[in-house]
Structure 1
Amino acid sequence: MDEPTMQFETILFSIEGGIARIRLNRPETLNALNRTLLGEFRTALDLIAGSAEARVLLLSGEGKGFSSGADLSGGSSPVGSPGFDAGAVLEDYYNPIMQRLFALPVPIVSALHGPVVGAGCMLALAADVVVAARSAYFLQAFVNIGLIPDAGSTWWLPRLVGVGRASGMMLLGERIPAEKAAAWGLIYEMVEDDELAARAEAIATRFAAGPTRAYDLIRQAIRAGLESNFAAALELERQSQREAGNTKDFAEGVAAFREKRKPVFTGQ
């Protein structure tokens, strides 16, 4: 049974057919990230994590681009005032969101077009499979306004593309076109703009019909492996394989293999 669509002010959210969808919905600002949007985004992630129906998250943006990054049009603490703390929004919003994205028990697909900027870049690149339209570009814009990259940029980007390219992205603050991003391995693949929606939907649909618990174990093992030694990775694989081997989906996969048919996974 699909779960009802919830109404938010700055995002579009639904869970249907096993696919949870979050679509940034401030097109008049190129989906700039204000506190309302960040709060709603965090709430949606919690709903997905607690859902019995969601088996994949599809992340995208409304309008002409995915996100122009943090909304700098206003704020309760003016820049330069004695009480201003540029890091407070990280503690209150971005850091909890990034931790939730990495810990989510279902795979994440992001479908990107137009600007993918600043903290919005990191929301997008937290996905397990990133598909970008040719129109997309990735921009670590922080240095252009005298800030440092945040939302996990300094940890995640070097692991995605290496120190040299990540340093160039963050220090130069220049656009990385989708074609170059694909060549670097920053994203999974680039497609033409008119193919983006169908391609992302096809990947999400595949995940929604797949072995959900195995996907979770794989994505968590990948993250853990970035911080562990080889022996620790082998031990985690052993533990995770035991857990995967006790799922109904494994039993179904083996039965389907033996019966020469396509498996019907239930995510259990």
Structure 2
Amino acid sequence: MTTSDVLLTADADGVRTLTLNRPQAYNSLTVELKERLLAELQAAADDAEVRAVVLTGSGKAFCAGQDLKEHVGLLQSGDPAPLNTVRNHYNPITRAIVGMSKPVIAAVNGTAAGAGAAFAYASDLRIAAESSSFLMAFANVGLGPDSGASWTLQRLIGYGRAAELMLLARTVDSAEALRIGLVGEVVPDEDLAARAHAIAAKLAAGPTVAYTKIKQVLNVSAQSSLEEALEAENAAQTILGKTADHAEAVEAFVTKRKPAFRGE
């Protein structure tokens, strides 16, 4: 495990776990943490040894969103950083998560609010602790959504529910999050880290080239016509049909053994 003041990283079983590490401030996002998170996401994307990523938080929160103390202080000092943080930090982080060529699992412990919740929505899978909750509180501070939440949230739960959660700034507990499809699984708090790692390790041992294409096709199809989706699927299958992983899967099926995928 390597450590910085604001972020922990750990590698095991082809999985890189990124842990937001400002527990005393509910892992709220300072400029330092945003820059570190973006750098670590980019490093994970570029590292061939990393085949899946887990994003989580230390302490009692996943991420409470923007650190308002820093935000207000910078505004009062006349620093332009707060006005540029969406373009310089939040947008690139969301692009890094959504565009990651390997699966990203959000292990949501405790509160996920604002941009923190948006990072969970941008992930491919969401596993939540029983004590977790989600809050889109932008309206409470006179702001609109950022970090891609307007794009990701309604794709998870539909326009009507997304509008309700954003306009009313209503907290969603883990049970409701599971019921409305915001998360895929809820586990006891003490089991969250192990469960998230187990899912990530399973994906890391799988056909990662296929996972990359699955993510790409889903993103294309979310904003295209049926014909465009069919073409995207065909293009992906043409490439995947020639991969070593596909050949290995076919051979394993014929010989009745478990395939050994290499991500090639």
TM-score (norm 1): 0.94
Identical-pair percentage: 39
CA distance in structure 2 between the aligned counterparts of 1:83 and 1:58, rounded to whole angstroms? 33
> 162, 171, 182: which is aligned to 1:175?
171
Q: CA deviation at 1:132?
A: 0.4
1:108 pairs with 2:97: no
Contact 2:75 2:82 in 1 (8 A): no
Aligned to 2:160: 164
1:114-138 Cα shifts (integer Å, max 9, x gaps): 1001100011121111010110000
CA distance in structure 1 between the aligned counterparts of 2:241 and 2:213, rounded to whole angstroms? 11
Contact 2:135 2:170 in 1 (8 A): yes
Q: Aligned in 2, Cα 1:6/1:243: closer, same or farther, shift over 3 Å?
A: farther
Q: CA deviation at 1:158?
A: 1.4
1:128 pairs with 2:124: yes
Q: CA deviation at 1:82?
A: 6.9
CA distance in structure 2 between the aligned counterparts of 1:140 and 1:156, rounded to whole angstroms? 13
Of 7-16 and 87-96, more deviation after overlay is shown by 7-16
CA distance in structure 1 between the aligned counterparts of 2:135 and 2:194, rounded to whole angstroms? 25
The answer for unaligned runs of 5 or more in structure 2 is none
CA distance in structure 1 between the aligned counterparts of 2:150 and 2:19, rounded to whole angstroms? 25
1:88-113 Cα shifts (integer Å, max 9, x gaps): 10011000111111111100111111
SS of match in other structure, 1:213: helix
Aligned length: 263
Aligned to 1:211: 207
Contact 2:105 2:127 in 1 (8 A): yes
Q: CA deviation at 1:167?
A: 0.5
CA distance in structure 1 between the aligned counterparts of 2:10 and 2:190, rounded to whole angstroms? 23
Q: Aligned in 2, Cα 1:175/1:242: closer, same or farther, shift over 3 Å?
A: same
Contact 1:66 1:113 in 2 (8 A): yes
Aligned to 2:216: 220
Q: CA deviation at 1:15?
A: 3.0
> 63, 75, 80: which is aligned to 2:59?
63
Residue 148 of structure 2 aligns to which amino acid in structure 1? Answer: G
Q: CA deviation at 1:193?
A: 1.6
CA distance in structure 1 between the aligned counterparts of 2:141 and 2:243, rounded to whole angstroms? 50
Q: Aligned in 2, Cα 1:83/1:112: closer, same or farther, shift over 3 Å?
A: closer
1:34 pairs with 2:30: yes
The answer for unaligned runs of 5 or more in structure 1 is none
CA distance in structure 2 between the aligned counterparts of 1:194 and 1:6, rounded to whole angstroms? 23
1:77 pairs with 2:74: yes
Residue 77 of structure 1 aligns to which amino acid in structure 2? Answer: L
TM-score (norm 2): 0.95
RMSD of aligned residue pairs (Cα, Å) = 1.6
CA distance in structure 2 between the aligned counterparts of 1:9 and 1:220, rounded to whole angstroms? 34
Q: CA deviation at 1:195?
A: 2.3
SS of match in other structure, 2:55: strand
Q: CA deviation at 1:222?
A: 0.7
Contact 2:15 2:197 in 1 (8 A): no
Of 48-57 and 5-14, more deviation after overlay is shown by 5-14
CA distance in structure 2 between the aligned counterparts of 1:100 and 1:84, rounded to whole angstroms? 24
Of 169-178 and 188-197, more deviation after overlay is shown by 188-197
Aligned to 1:255: 251
Contact 2:74 2:82 in 1 (8 A): no
1:5-24 Cα shifts (integer Å, max 9, x gaps): 54432111133321011010
As a proportion of its length, which structure holds more helix?
Answer: 2
Q: CA deviation at 1:85?
A: 7.3
